[in-house]
Amino acid sequence: MKGSVLIVDDDLALAEMLGIVLRSEGLDVTHVANGSEAVGVFREVRPDLVLLDVMLPGMDGMEICRRIRAESGVPIVMLTARTDTVDVVVGLENGADDYVVKPFKSQELIARLRARLRRTDDPEPERLEVGDLVIDVAGHSVKRNGVRLGLTPLEFDLLVALARKPRQVFSRELLLEQVWGYRHAGDTRLVNVHVQRLRSKIERDPEHPEIVVTVRGVGYKAGPS
Protein backbone atom coordinates (compact mmCIF):
# COMPACT_ATOMS: atom_id res chain seq x y z
CA MET A 1 0.00 0.00 0.00
CA LYS A 2 1.40 3.34 -1.01
CA GLY A 3 0.50 6.73 0.24
CA SER A 4 0.97 9.19 3.04
CA VAL A 5 -1.12 9.49 6.19
CA LEU A 6 -1.42 12.43 8.57
CA ILE A 7 -2.20 11.28 12.11
CA VAL A 8 -3.80 13.95 14.28
CA ASP A 9 -3.89 12.57 17.84
CA ASP A 10 -2.84 13.94 21.21
CA ASP A 11 -2.20 10.51 22.72
CA LEU A 12 1.49 10.01 21.95
CA ALA A 13 1.57 6.31 22.73
CA LEU A 14 -1.33 5.59 20.43
CA ALA A 15 0.08 7.86 17.73
CA GLU A 16 3.43 6.09 17.90
CA MET A 17 1.77 2.69 17.80
CA LEU A 18 -0.31 3.77 14.82
CA GLY A 19 2.86 4.99 13.17
CA ILE A 20 4.56 1.62 13.68
CA VAL A 21 1.59 -0.32 12.27
CA LEU A 22 1.04 1.97 9.29
CA ARG A 23 4.72 2.14 8.40
CA SER A 24 4.86 -1.63 8.46
CA GLU A 25 2.15 -1.47 5.79
CA GLY A 26 4.37 0.75 3.67
CA LEU A 27 2.69 4.09 4.32
CA ASP A 28 4.40 7.41 5.02
CA VAL A 29 3.28 8.74 8.37
CA THR A 30 3.30 12.29 9.72
CA HIS A 31 2.08 13.01 13.23
CA VAL A 32 0.70 16.14 14.77
CA ALA A 33 -0.43 16.19 18.40
CA ASN A 34 -1.98 19.64 18.69
CA GLY A 35 -5.28 20.40 17.06
CA SER A 36 -4.47 24.02 16.29
CA GLU A 37 -1.43 23.00 14.21
CA ALA A 38 -3.25 20.29 12.32
CA VAL A 39 -4.56 22.37 9.40
CA GLY A 40 -1.17 24.05 8.87
CA VAL A 41 0.63 20.72 8.82
CA PHE A 42 -2.02 19.35 6.47
CA ARG A 43 -1.36 22.14 3.95
CA GLU A 44 2.36 21.54 4.18
CA VAL A 45 2.31 17.74 3.90
CA ARG A 46 -0.67 17.25 1.53
CA PRO A 47 -1.32 13.68 2.75
CA ASP A 48 -3.40 11.12 0.88
CA LEU A 49 -5.44 10.44 4.01
CA VAL A 50 -6.08 12.05 7.38
CA LEU A 51 -6.54 9.94 10.54
CA LEU A 52 -8.18 12.30 13.01
CA ASP A 53 -8.91 11.89 16.70
CA VAL A 54 -12.17 13.57 17.64
CA MET A 55 -11.10 14.70 21.12
CA LEU A 56 -8.11 17.01 20.81
CA PRO A 57 -6.59 19.89 22.73
CA GLY A 58 -6.35 23.20 20.87
CA MET A 59 -8.95 22.65 18.22
CA ASP A 60 -11.86 20.23 18.23
CA GLY A 61 -11.57 17.31 15.82
CA MET A 62 -14.90 18.25 14.24
CA GLU A 63 -13.65 21.74 13.47
CA ILE A 64 -10.44 20.43 11.90
CA CYS A 65 -12.50 18.03 9.83
CA ARG A 66 -14.68 20.87 8.56
CA ARG A 67 -11.70 23.07 7.70
CA ILE A 68 -9.80 20.36 5.84
CA ARG A 69 -12.94 19.33 3.96
CA ALA A 70 -13.49 22.99 2.98
CA GLU A 71 -10.28 23.01 1.01
CA SER A 72 -9.76 19.38 0.02
CA GLY A 73 -11.58 16.18 -0.80
CA VAL A 74 -8.91 14.13 0.98
CA PRO A 75 -10.29 11.02 2.70
CA ILE A 76 -10.77 11.64 6.42
CA VAL A 77 -11.15 8.79 8.88
CA MET A 78 -12.07 9.72 12.42
CA LEU A 79 -10.88 7.91 15.52
CA THR A 80 -13.53 8.06 18.19
CA ALA A 81 -14.03 6.66 21.65
CA ARG A 82 -17.69 7.49 21.48
CA THR A 83 -20.28 5.55 19.61
CA ASP A 84 -23.06 7.83 20.70
CA THR A 85 -25.31 8.57 17.77
CA VAL A 86 -24.96 12.32 17.85
CA ASP A 87 -21.15 12.42 17.88
CA VAL A 88 -20.83 10.08 14.95
CA VAL A 89 -23.47 11.77 12.86
CA VAL A 90 -22.00 15.21 13.56
CA GLY A 91 -18.57 13.93 12.48
CA LEU A 92 -19.95 12.48 9.28
CA GLU A 93 -21.86 15.65 8.53
CA ASN A 94 -18.68 17.64 9.00
CA GLY A 95 -17.23 15.72 6.10
CA ALA A 96 -15.57 12.64 7.57
CA ASP A 97 -15.66 9.67 5.21
CA ASP A 98 -15.52 6.96 7.84
CA TYR A 99 -14.90 6.45 11.52
CA VAL A 100 -13.18 3.81 13.60
CA VAL A 101 -14.26 3.21 17.18
CA LYS A 102 -11.60 2.64 19.80
CA PRO A 103 -10.50 0.05 20.62
CA PHE A 104 -10.03 -1.31 17.13
CA LYS A 105 -7.95 -4.08 15.67
CA SER A 106 -5.01 -3.22 13.45
CA GLN A 107 -6.42 -5.41 10.67
CA GLU A 108 -9.75 -3.61 10.74
CA LEU A 109 -8.12 -0.17 10.60
CA ILE A 110 -5.83 -1.15 7.75
CA ALA A 111 -8.74 -2.58 5.76
CA ARG A 112 -10.57 0.70 6.04
CA LEU A 113 -7.56 2.80 5.18
CA ARG A 114 -6.89 0.55 2.21
CA ALA A 115 -10.43 1.11 0.95
CA ARG A 116 -9.93 4.86 1.19
CA LEU A 117 -6.52 4.80 -0.45
CA ARG A 118 -7.54 2.40 -3.22
CA ARG A 119 -8.19 5.18 -5.69
CA THR A 120 -4.50 6.00 -5.76
CA ASP A 121 -3.94 2.70 -7.54
CA ASP A 122 -4.18 3.14 -11.30
CA PRO A 123 -7.64 2.18 -12.41
CA GLU A 124 -8.66 0.90 -15.85
CA PRO A 125 -9.99 3.61 -18.17
CA GLU A 126 -13.77 3.35 -17.79
CA ARG A 127 -16.70 5.52 -18.77
CA LEU A 128 -20.11 5.21 -17.12
CA GLU A 129 -23.40 6.96 -17.70
CA VAL A 130 -26.19 7.25 -15.23
CA GLY A 131 -29.14 9.58 -15.76
CA ASP A 132 -27.69 12.70 -17.36
CA LEU A 133 -24.33 12.22 -15.65
CA VAL A 134 -21.17 11.07 -17.38
CA ILE A 135 -18.55 9.43 -15.15
CA ASP A 136 -14.91 9.09 -16.16
CA VAL A 137 -13.62 6.51 -13.67
CA ALA A 138 -9.93 6.84 -14.52
CA GLY A 139 -10.08 10.62 -14.62
CA HIS A 140 -12.10 10.82 -11.40
CA SER A 141 -14.58 13.20 -12.89
CA VAL A 142 -18.36 13.43 -13.03
CA LYS A 143 -19.90 15.76 -15.58
CA ARG A 144 -23.38 16.97 -16.27
CA ASN A 145 -23.73 18.67 -19.69
CA GLY A 146 -19.96 19.02 -19.74
CA VAL A 147 -19.85 20.76 -16.35
CA ARG A 148 -17.69 19.03 -13.79
CA LEU A 149 -19.29 18.27 -10.41
CA GLY A 150 -17.02 18.40 -7.37
CA LEU A 151 -17.27 15.12 -5.48
CA THR A 152 -15.02 13.84 -2.74
CA PRO A 153 -13.25 10.57 -3.55
CA LEU A 154 -15.64 8.70 -1.28
CA GLU A 155 -18.70 10.17 -2.94
CA PHE A 156 -17.15 9.36 -6.28
CA ASP A 157 -16.52 5.74 -5.24
CA LEU A 158 -20.08 5.45 -3.95
CA LEU A 159 -21.51 6.76 -7.21
CA VAL A 160 -19.26 4.51 -9.30
CA ALA A 161 -20.18 1.44 -7.24
CA LEU A 162 -23.86 2.12 -7.86
CA ALA A 163 -23.42 3.16 -11.50
CA ARG A 164 -21.40 0.13 -12.49
CA LYS A 165 -24.47 -2.06 -11.95
CA PRO A 166 -27.40 0.15 -12.81
CA ARG A 167 -30.80 -1.10 -11.60
CA GLN A 168 -29.18 -3.54 -9.20
CA VAL A 169 -30.28 -2.81 -5.64
CA PHE A 170 -27.38 -2.49 -3.20
CA SER A 171 -28.06 -3.16 0.46
CA ARG A 172 -26.37 -0.80 2.88
CA GLU A 173 -24.26 -3.69 4.16
CA LEU A 174 -23.03 -4.45 0.64
CA LEU A 175 -22.10 -0.81 0.08
CA LEU A 176 -20.26 -0.74 3.41
CA GLU A 177 -18.25 -3.71 2.23
CA GLN A 178 -17.56 -2.48 -1.30
CA VAL A 179 -17.01 1.22 -0.72
CA TRP A 180 -15.83 1.46 2.87
CA GLY A 181 -13.94 -1.82 3.12
CA TYR A 182 -15.89 -3.17 6.10
CA ARG A 183 -15.25 -6.84 6.67
CA HIS A 184 -17.96 -7.21 9.30
CA ALA A 185 -21.32 -5.58 9.74
CA GLY A 186 -20.90 -1.88 10.25
CA ASP A 187 -22.86 1.23 10.97
CA THR A 188 -25.39 1.68 8.17
CA ARG A 189 -25.89 5.33 9.12
CA LEU A 190 -22.55 5.90 7.38
CA VAL A 191 -24.23 4.96 4.10
CA ASN A 192 -27.30 7.08 4.76
CA VAL A 193 -25.29 10.20 5.54
CA HIS A 194 -23.07 9.90 2.49
CA VAL A 195 -25.93 9.12 0.14
CA GLN A 196 -27.57 12.35 1.35
CA ARG A 197 -24.35 14.29 0.70
CA LEU A 198 -23.93 12.72 -2.69
CA ARG A 199 -27.50 13.53 -3.63
CA SER A 200 -27.10 17.15 -2.60
CA LYS A 201 -24.33 17.40 -5.19
CA ILE A 202 -25.63 15.37 -8.11
CA GLU A 203 -29.42 15.46 -7.95
CA ARG A 204 -31.39 18.26 -9.59
CA ASP A 205 -33.86 18.02 -6.68
CA PRO A 206 -32.31 16.20 -3.70
CA GLU A 207 -35.79 15.84 -2.16
CA HIS A 208 -36.90 13.79 -5.16
CA PRO A 209 -33.78 11.91 -6.22
CA GLU A 210 -33.62 10.45 -9.73
CA ILE A 211 -30.05 9.15 -9.88
CA VAL A 212 -29.54 7.47 -6.50
CA VAL A 213 -32.91 6.04 -5.62
CA THR A 214 -33.95 4.56 -2.26
CA VAL A 215 -35.51 1.11 -2.40
CA ARG A 216 -37.53 0.97 0.81
CA GLY A 217 -36.52 -1.77 3.19
CA VAL A 218 -33.62 -2.89 0.98
CA GLY A 219 -31.14 -0.17 0.07
CA TYR A 220 -30.19 1.99 -2.88
CA LYS A 221 -29.79 1.72 -6.64
CA ALA A 222 -28.70 3.90 -9.51
CA GLY A 223 -31.05 5.00 -12.24
CA PRO A 224 -34.76 5.67 -12.50
CA SER A 225 -37.07 3.52 -10.39
Partner 1 sequence: MSELLRSEGLRRDAPAVPDDDGGPPPIVARTTRALVRGSGRLGRFIVRKWRTSLQFRVVVTTILLGLLVVGLLGTYLFRAIGTGLENDRIHASQLDARRQTTQAVASFQSTAATSIDSLTNSAKTILNGLAGPDQTRYVVFTRGLRNTNSRVLGSIGLPDSLISRSLREAVSADPSRQHTQVIQIDDPAGGSRVPAVVVGSQIDLSLVGPYDLYFIYPMYSETLTLERIARSFLIGGFILILLVGAVAWVVARQVVVPVRRASVVAERLAAGNLGERMSSRGHDELALLGTSFNAMADGLQTQIHQLESLSRVQQRFVSDVSHELRTPLTTIRMAADLIHDSRNDFEPGIARSTELLHNELDRFEDLLADLLEISRFDAGAAALDTDPTDLRAVVDKVVSATGSLARVRGSQIQVLQDGTSAVAEVDPRRVERILRNLLVNAVEHGDGLPVTVHLSGNDTAVAVVVEDHGVGLRPGEASLVFNRFWRADPARARTTGGTGLGLAISLEDARLHSGWLQAWGEPGAGSRFRLTLPRHTDSPIVTSPLPLSSPGLRRRT
Give the footprint of partner 1 on this chain (CB under 8 A): 11, 13-14, 17-18, 20-21, 24, 81-85, 102-107, 217
Question: Taking the complex as a whole, how short is the minimal distance between the CB of residue 27 and partner 1, in angstroms?
Answer: 15
Question: Taking the complex as a whole, how short is the minimal distance between the CB of residue 106 and partner 1, in angstroms?
Answer: 4
Whichever of 24 and 36 has its CB closer to partner 1, that residue is 24
Rounded to whole angstroms, the Cα distance separating 187 from 182 reads 10
Whichever of 79 and 135 has its CB closer to partner 1, that residue is 79
Nearest to 114 by CA among 223, 2, 197, 210: 2
How close are the terminal C-alpha atoms of the chain, in Å?
39
Whichever of 26 and 146 has its CB closer to partner 1, that residue is 26
Whichever of 18 and 38 has its CB closer to partner 1, that residue is 18
> Parallel, antiparallel, or unpaired: how do β-strands 4-8 and 28-32 relate?
parallel
Q: 104 CB contacts (<8 Å, ≥6 apart)? A: none
Question: Taking the complex as a whole, how short is the minimal distance between the CB of residue 115 and partner 1, in angstroms?
Answer: 19
Question: Taking the complex as a whole, how short is the minimal distance between the CB of residue 186 and partner 1, in angstroms?
Answer: 11
Question: Taking the complex as a whole, how short is the minimal distance between the CB of residue 17 and partner 1, in angstroms?
Answer: 5
Whichever of 138 and 215 has its CB closer to partner 1, that residue is 215
Nearest to 75 by CA among 157, 174, 162: 157
Cα-based distances in Å from 63 to 94, 111, 131, 140, 186: 8, 26, 35, 27, 25
Determine the longest span between alpha carbons in the chain, in angstroms.
51
